[in-house]
Structure 1
Amino acid sequence: MVKEQVKWSADYVALGLAALAFVLHAACAGRYDVFRDELYFIVCGRQPAFGYVDQPPLIPLLSAGFYALGHNAWMLRLPATLAAGALVWLAVRFARLLGGGTFAAIGAGVCVTIAPMLMGIVAVFNTTVFDPLAWTLIAYLLVKATRDGDRPALLWCGVVAGIDFEAKYALYVWAIALVVGLLATPERRIFRDRMLWLGAAIAIVIGLPSILWQATHGWPFLELAAAARAKNTDIPPLNFIINQVLVMNPLLAPVWIAGVVAPFVIASLKPVRFLAIAFLASFALTLITHGKDYYIASTYPTVFILGAVAWAHWFRKARARIGLAVWGGLAVALSAAISPMALPVLSVEGLRAYIAHSPFKPQQQEKSFKGTLLPQVFADQLGWHDYTDQVGAAWRKIPADVRARTGIKVENYGEAAALDIYGPKYDLPPALSGHNQYYQWGLRGQKPVNLLVVQNNPDRLEPYCQKTVILGETYSRDAMAYENGKTIALCQGLKVDIVKLWPELKNFS
């Protein structure tokens, strides 16, 4: 296996495939509307902090900043679109670092471009969007350090890890897995290099503000994580594994499986066996902890790259490579067929018809998803304007003198954030909710004696209200099913002090 010496600035395979990935995601980025979590991140970012109940600060701060540039989903998702292109570029460069030629480089770039789960991760701007890029870059830098003796690469590992940790705490999964992989191989000698520990110190310093925020606020993320495990659907291990094959494209399974096997059978790849072991460790950790399927999606680029290099090594004759190219074309076609489940390539009507007649169905990752036709990533982009309009219409039915002493209480951060972002046209006050960071914000400077409440079972308001008036109901056809049919009711004359009631509204999930 001979390494091609191609400067990054002249690597037209890397630049071309990265450009194609960017264009693909840019074309889809504004197709629907702003996702539930994106709305929440914008509101969080407008109130800057070193941390939040359910995430570090980086994504909220970027969300608020980019949304302010255009007040649309496309501009909000620009960092995710750039991350998608950068991952493809890195995959090509990584394949070359491992000794792969142009054929292997193209294979690696294509795999990380068309794998449906990797496409879906960057479909909206969320806390996971930088993980595939960051985790793959950490693996790349570790190879440069352990195999090539590039000791400063360990410092850059720390920088990348620290920044990614400020986007999502899930980095610990890959960190633990890599430690396991390194300890299980001769590359464990890297632990004797003080550069590694200096890199770790850099990561800790970058991530420390968020950790300190969590510590000073009673570690709410740990409480939330425990609650999240309870709401996830229990998926049997075999079903989980089968789903991994499906969401990464079944025709690409031979590539990532080869990526796990190849370092143990190809001499030139033996120095990177720790990466294959790390993948298996992260897979096992996710299974044991009953994680969702996307929790380990960020580990796949590394084994796709290893697999592409392996297949190019095993099939070096022209005729064999033609066969691989045909196989790759079929994989592209299958990903194109699956893509409506990952990216908004179809209209909403087209997506409904596609799901009704397609063998590909969204897996129910949470118990509350029951009854929703569209995948959650799409359903939660739809209906928020309807929701705000319905609450706004109810608000305007309240006499002006009563509105002046009325707050709006909703059940979750998606509802609250939608009202905060889309509600100014109705002169709505800041929304109140006990969900996650909204609980931390409390009454947001208000002292209401009445509440406009959006929830199911309005009869549950009776112990708290002197008078309850039904003013409307929520409905949007393509929204998450549990958001429909909620009553919009005016709780007039609170019987209890809302300040004393507030702790009972806490909902970390």
Structure 2
Amino acid sequence: MPYVATADPPRSVPKFAATAVLPVAAVTALAHCVATLLGRGYWFDEVYMLAIGRYHLDWGSADQPPAATALAALMDAVAPGSVFALRLPAMLATVGAVVLAAMIAREFGGHRRAQGLTAVAQATALWPTLTGHWLTPYTLEPVQWLAILWLLVRWVRLRDDRLLVALGAVVGIAVMTKFQVLLLCAVLLVCIAITGPRDLLQRPALWLGAAIAIAVAAPTLWWQQSHGWPQWQMTRVVAGEADALYGGRPGIAVQLIVYAGVLGVFLGLYGAWQLLRAPHWRQYRFVAVTAMTLYVVFVATLGRPYYLAGLYGVLAAAGAVSLQRRRAGKPAGRRWPARVGVLTSVATAVLILVFSVGATRSDIGEDIARTTAQAYQNLPGPRREHTALLGESYIVAAYLDGYAPQYGLPPAHSTNRSYGYFAPPAESVDTVLYVGRNPDAVRGYFGSAEKVGTVNDDLDIYLLSKHRQPWQQIWPRLRTLTVS
């Protein structure tokens, strides 16, 4: 039966367990700082944010809202070329998610141990551990989703409508970061209408908050509309990549759960079960129903396996508090199972963090820029003035742009992903240095093609000369969201 609001006064909650939560947050921050310092180069998604922010900052792009790119531009302006500075917003978001997850456990009635256990579960979740020091939209997203859930959970306890106004601002910022939050909000509203608390939907403050969210997100929504909603087209691209990247629906179904980490999987599944069945969790049942609904949607539509990362903390909080309730009034028993779970989760997270460091120790991005710069500098001066850089994929173009100041390169172009929606080369450009595996897609638009370099036996550099048609005609024909 759906939860119905009562006139009961708000229940009190335990104090925030700073001595249990903040050390976990501090260790998390230190771990990601060390991972950044041990790495050598950029992760390809974060150099993509840097490239867009540095050269193409706008209210949107084909596959990203502007928040991450704006942060990249800001950090690049404050500390040009500093990878550590670039990653500070991501690390702060990752640490903030740890604290917010513990605060949700507190709202649920969790004492010191439950709050600390939740913080550890969030800190050792595999996806945040892997990506928590890379400035990307999917790194910023978990803290925003947890903020949304914390405001809702706190409202259920306090019935303070100011929280709903704040909720609107958070949702607006989240939309400017990643559009999946729109689906989260839609599913939350439906689940609350079904399971309660239904009086939430009757609060004017909720709809005031919705108006604020729309106002905050309006510029990027307008950008998408005026460019034909390429973000909507990206859903088909994401689905098309699922088999090759994640093993199709079976792989996504498993990874959506496994990415919560060892402790997160146990607490999350137990928490979801308790939310669905225990009478005292009735007012928060919408949390579990929302998570289950989104799980089914993301598996069915072949979404990315990290799309639930923003819900791991709230489910872990429910699990940790449920364990606390189960042990209440019972004699203290052996605590080794919990300790083994924590240690196993931490050990697994350390391995994932080491893998993450290895992923950015490769100098492939710098090699691309260095070799391209050599080919570019070998051109006669007058010819360089009429030559543009053209990357086969957005990844290649982003690496060229990321290292452009270091190697004296002009801004790069590509017809792939967001780059395809940026301005094409000037009409005075009749030659391009094409960096990729195969120039056949563009070779027909030029009079000649000459191989002038190779990058690590993986990518080639071609000099394509004498383009035959105006760039304004060529560009729309070559534009693609799919990475070849």
What residue number does 1:331 align with?
345
Query: Contact between 1:3 and 1:101, CA under 8 Å: does it hold in 2?
Result: no
Query: Contact between 1:88 and 1:112, CA under 8 Å: does it hold in 2?
Result: yes
* Distance apart, 1:266 and its partner CA: 3.5
Query: Contact between 1:81 and 1:122, CA under 8 Å: does it hold in 2?
Result: yes
* Distance apart, 1:178 and its partner CA: 1.3
Which residue of the other structure, out of 378, 389, 404, is the alignment partner of 2:385?
404
What residue number does 2:265 align with?
253
Secondary structure at the counterpart of residue 414 of structure 2:
coil
What residue number does 1:296 align with?
308
What residue number does 2:479 align with?
506
What residue number does 1:36 align with?
44
User: Are residue 165 (structure 1) and residue 179 (structure 2) matched?
Assistant: no
Q: What is the 5 A alignment of 1:280-429?
A: 280-316=292-328, 317-341=331-355, 343-344=356-357, 348=358, 378=359, 382-424=363-405, 426-429=407-410
Change (3 A) 1:4 1:473: same
In structure 2, distance between residues paired with 1:380 and 1:466: 39
Query: Contact between 1:87 and 1:133, CA under 8 Å: does it hold in 2?
Result: yes
What residue number does 2:33 align with?
26
* Distance apart, 1:116 and its partner CA: 1.3
In structure 2, distance between residues paired with 1:333 and 1:113: 12
Which residue of the other structure, out of 221, 233, 239, is the alignment partner of 1:223?
233
* Distance apart, 1:381 and its partner CA: 6.3
What residue number does 1:15 align with?
22
* Distance apart, 1:320 and its partner CA: 4.1
Change (3 A) 1:193 1:332: same
What residue number does 1:279 align with?
291
Code of the aligned partner of 2:18: D
Query: Contact between 2:191 and 2:289, CA under 8 Å: does it hold in 1?
Result: yes
Which residue of the other structure, out of 64, 87, 91, is the alignment partner of 2:73?
64
Code of the aligned partner of 2:165: L
Identity of matched residues, %? 26
What residue number does 1:369 align with?
none
For 1:83-118, what per-residue CA distance to the aligned partner results, in whole angstroms no more than 9, with x for missing partners? Answer: 111111112221111111111111111100111122
Query: Contact between 1:30 and 1:72, CA under 8 Å: does it hold in 2?
Result: no
Change (3 A) 1:175 1:329: same
Which residue of the other structure, out of 160, 176, 189, is the alignment partner of 1:150?
160
Change (3 A) 1:27 1:397: same
Query: Contact between 2:238 and 2:302, CA under 8 Å: does it hold in 1?
Result: no
Change (3 A) 1:224 1:450: same
Q: What is the 5 A alignment of 1:191-230?
A: 191-230=201-240
Change (3 A) 1:59 1:421: same
User: Are residue 5 (structure 1) and residue 14 (structure 2) matched?
Assistant: yes
* Distance apart, 1:444 and its partner CA: 4.5
Change (3 A) 1:459 1:198: closer
What residue number does 1:472 align with?
453
Code of the aligned partner of 1:143: V
* Distance apart, 1:446 and its partner CA: 5.3
Secondary structure at the counterpart of residue 489 of structure 1:
strand
In structure 2, distance between residues paired with 1:460 and 1:293: 31
What residue number does 2:3 align with?
none
* Stretches of structure 2 lacking an aligned partner (at least 5 in a row): 1-10
Query: Contact between 1:35 and 1:381, CA under 8 Å: does it hold in 2?
Result: no
Change (3 A) 1:427 1:187: same
Secondary structure at the counterpart of residue 139 of structure 2:
coil
Q: Give the alignment's TM-score, normalised by structure 2.
A: 0.89
For 1:243-302, what per-residue CA distance to the aligned partner results, in whole angstroms no more than 9, with x for missing partners? Answer: 344333345422111110112343432211111111111111101111121111211111
Secondary structure at the counterpart of residue 158 of structure 2:
coil
What residue number does 1:184 align with?
194
* Distance apart, 1:387 and its partner CA: 0.4
What residue number does 2:6 align with?
none
Code of the aligned partner of 1:279: A
Code of the aligned partner of 1:66: M
Computed over aligned residues only, the root mean square deviation of the Cα atoms, in angstroms, reads 2.4
In structure 2, distance between residues paired with 1:254 and 1:422: 43
Query: Contact between 2:121 and 2:263, CA under 8 Å: does it hold in 1?
Result: no
Q: What is the 5 A alignment of 1:73-152?
A: 73-152=83-162
Query: Contact between 1:180 and 1:281, CA under 8 Å: does it hold in 2?
Result: no
* Distance apart, 1:50 and its partner CA: 1.5
In structure 1, distance between residues paired with 2:215 and 2:121: 35
Code of the aligned partner of 1:31: L
Mean Cα deviation higher: 122-131 or 41-50: 41-50
In structure 2, distance between residues paired with 1:50 and 1:494: 32
Query: Contact between 2:242 and 2:249, CA under 8 Å: does it hold in 1?
Result: no
Code of the aligned partner of 2:411: P
What residue number does 1:375 align with?
none
* Distance apart, 1:462 and its partner CA: 5.4
* Stretches of structure 1 lacking an aligned partner (at least 5 in a row): 349-377, 476-483
* Distance apart, 1:186 and its partner CA: 3.0
